Amino acid sequence: MDSITARNLLKLQDIDLKIEEVKAKIEKIPAEIKKIEEEKQKIIDEFENILRQRKQLEITKKEKELDIQTFQDRIKKIEERLNTVRNNDEYKALLREKAQAEEAIIHIEDEILKIMEDLENLQSRIKELEKEKDLKIQNLENQIHEKKQEIEKLNLELKELQQKREELTKQIKPQDLAQYENIKKKVKTKVIAVVDDQVCTGCYMVIPPKVFTELLKSENLLRCPNCGRYLFYEAK
């Protein structure tokens, strides 16, 4: 294999590494988008949860108000009976019952006051959160949009790299290309390792002196005895 082929293979390898890099980036993005979408959903859920809390408090308040109405009706009936009752014991019992109902009303009114206080606090929190939530969601949606744009950009980049690769492979002899692809399958990453200071930069083993001497003399591509990658040496 001549040095032009070697240089072309080295270029091919650069392109292949870039292709892998771009593909890895593209693969990562959907998970990133999913994470942002989950974050957005969490904000929406939290807000809806607070709205549910408010609704629940309003329902409880209405129930308590109905309870008061019930006790007031009871008191009215007791008062009517107090006007007609003749028996002293029965009269006393009715008075006791009336006092109990009045006490119950006071108790429920306290509870309603507490609920109204809670509602007021919740209301101001909802107002605050509403603004915050919209801003946060807007921000997250922008992030998602950016990620989607990034995918588009990377896909374009990938297409360009693949076109470049195709052009380049036309300049390489089929058997050389086939060998390159074969080694690539085995070593996964770099097929051609630049020799730096007598070290194969593919596996970081020192190249035996005999191979290195040959490498200096020969125009041909030799292979690393350790990892099998092509060795590319350029005198500095």
Minimum distance from residue 221 beta carbon to Zn ion (Å): 13
Q: DSSP assignment, residue 226?
A: T
| Phi then psi dihedrals of residue 208, to 5 deg | -55, 140
Site for Zn ion in 147-206 (CB under 5 A): 200, 202-203
Q: What CA–CA distance (Å, rounded) separates 156 from 8?
A: 23
Site map 216..235 versus Zn ion, x via CB under 5 A? --------x-xx--------
Minimum distance from residue 232 beta carbon to Zn ion (Å): 11
Pick 1 or 200: Cβ nearer Zn ion: 200
Minimum distance from residue 222 beta carbon to Zn ion (Å): 11
In the chain, the DSSP E strands lie at: 192-196, 199-200, 222-223, 230-232
Q: CB neighbours of 198 closer than 8 A, spacing ≥ 6?
A: 206, 207, 209, 212
Minimum distance from residue 8 beta carbon to Zn ion (Å): 21
Pick 10 or 101: Cβ nearer Zn ion: 10
What single letter denotes the amino acid at residue 209? P
Interface ranges with Zn ion (CB under 5 A): 200, 202-203, 224, 226-227
